[in-house]
Chains A and B, each alone.
Chain A
Amino acid sequence: MSASPDAVGVPAKSGARAALGAVDLLHPSARGGAPAGKAVSAAVPAAGRRSRLSPLAPVGLFLLCGVALVLSLAASVRIGTTDVSYADVARTAGFHLGLDVEPLPRLVDSLIWELRVPRVLMAALVGASLAVCGAALQAITRNALADPYLLGISSGASTGAVTVVVLGVGSASLGVTGGAFVGAMVSFGLLMLLLRKGGLDSVRVVLTGVVVSQLFTALTSLVLMASGDSEAIRAITQWLLGSMAPARWDTTAVTAAVTAVGLLVLWLNSAALDGFSFGADTASSLGVDVRTTRWVLLVVTSLMTAVAVASVGAIGFVGLIVPHGVRFLVGPLHRLLLPLSALVGAVFLVWTDALARVAFAPQEVPVGVFTALLGVPLFLLVLRKRGEL
């Protein structure tokens, strides 16, 4: 088949549009990139294109956010218990990138290159990852409150981390990061096991996530209570609230790879994510393979979340508020929303991490405290502007 409906078989209907003498763009015969004929431009008044902002605004926003991110990264490397100058940052970067510059003294050099740079990059990557996962999960569950931790992956990571830190299981071979990643994978496996049969409708996904999440939260509490070691409890509370301090080049590289691939996969599914706006049936009628798409998106967001949480702990609020804030600026279409959320999430977490380092220096505050403290007023502002509060 696939041909146009045979004209012979058109009974009883007036050729109303044939009489207009115009190419009917809404007819299947007008497929295949026929240029927008005169008829159309005449029939449609020169209505403004998308004017949430002006047509060039998205490009401008991307440039703005990109520049902001680069500046934030540079500025953030300087900030900390020991301040370093931009010249030092530039010299270190130049030296390690193989340029012909005089290296700094070893101690300063390793402070900048081995601690600060991976840490700042990690903040940007995790911020981007969480924001994009939040945006995607809000779309597939059609739930404005969805965030990357909805599926219980972070709870599994916590249980893994606690098992390593408090019980000392695998502390030599895995470390906290490894333990947290194993925990995240176990909870992810349980989630997939529970979801493997039947549909993946929003309510079922959310409820299953809640079940997994509650189970692992209870396990974490159980281990903590059973141990009673107050030092360990303090250490793990720090970890649970999230901190960039453990970031090194190896974990940063893994996070970078997973974040980049995940972002690309999610972005390529932008149209499908838009299609979910009116629910699964409408998405399916628009040609979205609902079941496959949901599986792909759940697996990708789970993996991105697992890597982010295992690297730096469960930093809250970024994945919830950044997508809402960006949607407020550029609207809900995911082709724009996802990459901009990534940029804004990255800038946001780079700055909150810098704040966490210096606010009560030399004591470092878990970054999760600041994402919430800064996030709540910003979130209220967005809701106010949207007239929802």
Chain B
Amino acid sequence: MRITAEGLGWSVAGKRVVADVNLDVAPGETVGLIGPNGSGKSSLLRCLAGLRAPTAGSVAYDREPIRRWGPRRVARHIAFVEQAADTESDLRVADVVSLGRTPFGDRWRGLGAHDRAVVDAALARLGLTELRERPWKALSGGERQRAHIARALAQQPYAILLDEPTNHLDVKHQLELLDLLAGTDQTVLVALHDLSLAARYCDRLLLMHGGRLVADGPPKDVLTPRLLAEVFEVDAETGPDSLGHLTVAYRGVVAPSQP
């Protein structure tokens, strides 16, 4: 599914959090969203996922504006994984993944055999089959994140939006998760903090700064020393690591400029 935004802006309490964003994510692309804390990544993702009504501009799925779509119709197209969503509820892993079937559920009949098969497949894809009866409270951070991804996949989405899904994951689980996302043929838009991982797994990177999109292109064009200094305020070099992957090496922070 193609996701486009035109002149997208979102303000809250008079503060412009996202301003004038134009983007176009092609079907099947894996696109990374990077930028420093507070640059508007989460808010942009929420606008694109239909969770916030933009205060300016528009969002469209396959060129059709979603402004008047209800949440259920949106949820049948796109899955959204929040950053570290937690619950006090005593849900089991299988219950959490079943939540992904909500947009397809019937109020009277609940979930059917097909829904359960999809949930089973999602559990299996994330290696959670053995943990299906495990209570949420007994899960590690990595297992919780995997349960969320499985829940998102159970939505059978055309596109998946994720807000820093690799936070709190160890290296192995970070690689597994990104392998999985890059391997699906659904459209993926993922906010990431680790620039080297973003470079390695994404077809394209979007760089945000102060609510605006300041760069959009292949990793090697976005992760330049000049942009890294300007946006992240770090003194960095980019180049292939010993395995040939594009990586970012940091010399330190940029010294504050004297007025």
Contacts and interface: CB of A to CB of B under 8 A. Distances in A.
A274 B51 contact: no
Given A26-B153, A284-B71, A332 B90 contact: yes
B203 to A, nearest CB: 6
A165 B235 CA distance: 77
Q: Which of B112, B121, B157, B182 has the most CB of A within 10 A?
A: B121
Contacts of B51: 281, 284-285
A10 B27 contact: yes
A228 interface: no
Contact of B105 (A15, A25, A271): A271
A52 interface: yes
B88 A271 contact: no
Interface in B52-93: 61-64, 70-80, 82, 85-92
A14 B185 CA distance: 8
Contacts of B129: 44-45, 47
B117 A11 contact: no
B87 A277 contact: yes
B114 to A, nearest CB: 5
Interface residues of B, number: 76
A133 to B, nearest CB: 18
B85 A5 contact: no
A333 to B, nearest CB: 6
B102 A286 contact: yes
Q: Which of A1, A45, A51 has the most CB of B within 10 A?
A: A1
B1 A13 contact: no
B88 to A, nearest CB: 6
Contacts of B26: 9, 11
Contacts of B185: 5, 10, 13, 15, 17, 27
Given A286-B99, A287-B76, A281 B82 contact: yes
A40 B114 CA distance: 11
Interface residues of A, number: 61
Interface string B117-133: 11011111100011011
A274 B27 contact: no
Interface in B6-54: 26-30, 46, 49-51
A203 interface: no
A47 B97 CA distance: 15
B154 interface: yes
A332 B61 CA distance: 35
Main secondary structure of the interface of A (DSSP, over half): loop
Interface stretch (A31-39, A114-122, A294-302): A31-39
Interface string A242-280: 000000000000000000000000001111101101110
A47 B117 CA distance: 12
B216 interface: no
Contact of B154 (A26, A49, A282): A26
A40 B76 CA distance: 22
Nearest to B123: A44
B74 A287 contact: yes
Contacts of A87: none
A9 B26 CA distance: 7
A289 B77 CA distance: 15
A272 to B, nearest CB: 8
Contacts of B77: 1
A144 interface: yes
B240 interface: no
A286 B87 contact: no
B182 A13 contact: yes
B99 A277 contact: yes
Given A5-B27, A142-B88, A285 B61 contact: no
Contacts of B92: 50, 52, 331
A43 interface: yes
Interface string B96-108: 1001101111011
Q: Which of A48, A50, A270 has the most CB of B within 10 A?
A: A50
Contacts of A142: 87-88
A30 B124 CA distance: 16
B95 interface: yes
B187 A5 contact: yes
Contacts of A25: 117-118, 121-122, 156
Contact of A335 (B46, B110, B155): B110
B115 to A, nearest CB: 9
Interface of B: 1-2, 26-30, 46, 49-51, 61-64, 70-80, 82, 85-92, 94-96, 99-100, 102-105, 107-108, 110, 112-114, 116-118, 120-125, 129-130, 132-133, 153-158, 182-187, 203
Given A1-B62, A5-B158, 12 more contacts: A13-B184, A27-B156, A28-B156, A30-B156, A33-B112, A40-B120, A269-B107, A271-B102, A278-B85, A278-B87, A285-B78, A333-B95
25 contacts: A1-B61, A11-B26, A11-B28, A25-B117, A26-B118, A26-B125, A28-B186, A34-B114, A44-B120, A47-B129, A144-B88, A269-B107, A274-B99, A277-B87, A278-B82, A278-B86, A278-B99, A279-B85, A281-B80, A281-B82, A285-B82, A287-B75, A287-B102, A290-B71, A333-B95
